[in-house]
Chain A
Amino acid sequence: MKIEISEKSVRNEIARTVEWVSGQNLFACYQCGNCTAGCPVSFAMDLGPHQVIRYTLLGLVSEVLASNTPWICASCLQCTSRCPKGLDIARIMEALRTVVLRKKERLDHISIVDLTDDLIDRTPQIAFISGFRKFLS
């Protein structure tokens, strides 16, 4: 994949929004991969958390926004707790979700109508409340 790097692509709009919403400096990341290695759900992600940060800085916006990574993240903060540079990666994931969810058109990532009666009956309400807050517009 050929990537052209320019000031414009590196300081792209998504990177700036993510930095603003997360309060984190993406440039602090030196790609050690500790976040991805310790992540309990990285097996299901198409990009590891460290790759998401790199892609964002390289201006690969459509790849980042198409990845399932922020939607698989369970906000368990293992990455945040282990980042040697002190980055709060869980906040970066939340910021990426926010970029998508705050668009004008609704971009829900849970389909409420598809939840089965059995699931609704068995699931504690905190799972629904936190899930809906993370994944619904």
Chain B
Amino acid sequence: MDYLYFPGCTLYTKAKNLDVAARECAKIVGFELRELPNWTCCGATFPLAIDNLMALLPPSRILATAMEAGGNLTTLCSVCFNVLRRTSYLLESDLEKREKIFDFIEMEYRDGLRVPHYLEILRDEVGFETVKAKVKRDLKGLRVAPYYGCLLLRPFDEMRFDDKENPTILERFVESIGCEPVDFPYKIECCGSFQSVSAPEVAIECGYAILKSALKNGAEVMVSTCPLCQFNLDTKQREIREEYPEFQGIPVLYFSQLMGLSFDLPMEILDFQRNDVDPLPFLERKGLL
């Protein structure tokens, strides 16, 4: 199994801890990630105005580059995944727009490029059984809240990632590495997204509601798949605590970090220093290190 890999801008800088652990884990479970040549930013939003073709140019160029490089394209960041998957759906279903876009960027587009998320590769190609077989560190009893957010799932008809109201892929992933998934009602609620730049007080409320709900249902850590969710749920806990002093806090890890921990990868690869809420003291207390 060989995949082209689109890291996206954030995974090269602020979210290195999502990227590095995932690359290492891919090798262990048996698939290759070959970085896409000459990649650019995907634009970080799928344009919702139907006449905005300009915002479709970067993701269309990325998809065409993947076709030239010959392979299916995977990514980790939920934002990139949403933009690339929706663009690929649009290019396959709206031939008029497709012609306009590719006339403009002067590249070729052919049908049939798949854009699987890393988790989908684990589920559909590798299999969670294989993941389970590679586990080296026993994380039994660790109660993990799987947080999906919006962009992996919606809009359902275009993303086709998992069930739209009750997805279970992260629960199955968490089980495969020996942890106990915690069900909580806010798992598909929005983290506040880019409102953390324009209306931070709104994003803080969103983050607080999600974290509180996970804690109330007995979670000890949360896993996320997206650098923007990670920012609103982990980095912003400082601000949440200023607003709600009784809030006790909860470590939020990228799913790749938790997978790496279960595979017993070295600490410099797991890179927990980048997580604002340090999970190490808790993991030590729990006897998992």
CB–CB A44/B202 < 8 A: yes
Chain A proximity of B233: nearest CB distance (Å): 12
- Smallest CB separation, A49 vs chain B (Å): 14
Residues of chain B with a CB closer than 8 A to A78's CB: 150, 154, 189-190
A74 x B195 contact (CB < 8 A): yes
Indicate if the CB atoms of A131 and B194 lie closer than 8 Å: yes
Q: CB distance A125 to B190 under 8 Å?
A: no
Q: Which stretch in A6-14, A56-64, A88-96 binds the other chain?
A: A88-96
With both chains docked as a complex, state the minimum distance between the C-beta of A46 and any C-beta of chain B, in angstroms: 13
> Which chain B residues border A21 with CB–CB below 8 Å?
49-51
B156: Cβ under 8 A from any A Cβ: yes
Q: B67 contacts the other chain (Cβ, under 8 Å)?
A: no
Q: Does A98 contact B (CB under 8 A)?
A: yes
Contact of B154 among A43, A44, A77, A127 (CB under 8 A): A77
**How many A-B contacts are there with CB distance less than 8 Å?**
137
Interface string of A28-70 (1 = CB under 8 A from B): 0000000000001101100000000000000000000000000
- Structural contact, B44 and A133, CB atoms closer than 8 A: yes
A25 within 8 A of B: no
CB pair B154–A126 under 8 Å, yes or no, is no
- Majority secondary structure, A binding face: helix
Whether a CB of chain A sits under 8 angstroms from the CB of B275 is no
Q: Please determine whether B231 and A123 come into contact, CB atoms closer than 8 angstroms.
A: yes
Cβ-neighbour of A126 out of B52, B79, B164 (below 8 A):
B79
**Contacting pair B13 A125 (CB below 8 A):** yes
A71–B200 Cα distance when bound, in Å, is 12
A127 touches B228 (CB 8 A): yes
Q: Closest Cβ of chain B: how far from A59's Cβ, in Å?
A: 22
B289 within 8 A of A: no
Report the nearest A residue to B232, measured CB to CB. A127
**Chain A residue nearest to B13 in the complex (CB):** A125
Interface presence of A107 (CB below 8 A): no
Cβ-defined partner of B231 (8 Å) among A98, A115, A127, A129? A127
Is B95 in contact with chain A by the CB < 8 A criterion? no
A132 to chain B, nearest CB (A): 8
Which residues of chain A have C-beta atoms less than 8 A from B205's C-beta?
A: 41, 43-44
Contact between A122 and B197, CB atoms less than 8 A apart: no
Bound CA span A40–B235, Å = 20
B interface, CB within 8 angstroms of A: 8-10, 13-15, 41, 43-45, 47-52, 55, 77, 79, 149-150, 153-156, 164, 189-190, 192-202, 205-206, 209, 227-228, 230-231, 235
Question: Shortest 5 CB-CB distances between A and B: which pairs?
Answer: A76-B190, A94-B48, A131-B194, A77-B154, A129-B44
A-B contact pairs, 10 of them (CB 8 A): A20-B51, A40-B192, A44-B202, A74-B206, A77-B155, A78-B150, A109-B198, A110-B197, A115-B197, A127-B194
